[in-house]
Chains A and B, each alone.
Chain A
């Protein structure tokens, strides 16, 4: 079974500062993927970034980067130069990989971190 742990229920950060959201995971699968999603108050889930377990380099997408430390089983999200619009819930998730014949069998989510950016 897969498990995601997010230990920060809430964070307050000053605008323009960098933010690190913590995520640790546990799995016995040899191949897996790690995801971060943003959920604004409206409720939709917005895909931010993905890291494959065999990727050699940390993933980056604009202001988002994923600090992947496989030996420590951590996949922290780093947001550079935070903006007021970054205020939202952030979820770390993982999936098994290596399946054939269609999509994967879904994501396992952590409980999330509520990020509030202050002006």
Chain B
């Protein structure tokens, strides 16, 4: 079955280190997204990409970077410039038909130790 795979499920990082979260989809969707979720909060958009080799900043892009070299992959790097990186990170994709909704991965929980 098609879907989105995020890895790892849990990730621990020391302060000052960069870390990369993986997001792979086999749905043949053009658009991909990264969201951040803090406890008791809704999701906030970090970055999105509507096509390969192109991406745009979302509402909270500072301290994050992305790449979109392949249609299937949209990795997110949490850099040392991100002041408060501990959060739940969700990757999503869309085929452009809103009636199908956006498909989400199962998330990566990042903890800074």
Contact = CB atoms under 8 A, between A and B. Distances in A.
A103 B105 CA distance: 17
Given A109-B42, A110-B42, A111-B42, A103 B94 contact: yes
A68 interface: no
B40 A95 contact: no
Interface string B80-113: 0000000010101011101111111111010000
A106 B96 contact: no
Interface string A17-53: 0000000000000000101010000111111001010
Interface residues of A, number: 28
Interface residues of B, number: 33
B42 A112 contact: yes
Contact of B31 (A45, A102, A112): A102
A102 B42 contact: no
B30 A103 contact: yes
Interface of A: 4, 33, 35, 37, 42-47, 50, 52, 91, 93, 95, 97, 101-112
30 contacts: A35-B101, A37-B104, A43-B90, A43-B107, A44-B104, A44-B105, A44-B106, A45-B104, A47-B101, A47-B102, A47-B103, A50-B98, A50-B101, A91-B43, A101-B50, A102-B30, A102-B31, A103-B29, A103-B31, A103-B50, A105-B50, A105-B56, A107-B33, A107-B102, A109-B35, A109-B43, A110-B42, A111-B40, A111-B41, A112-B42
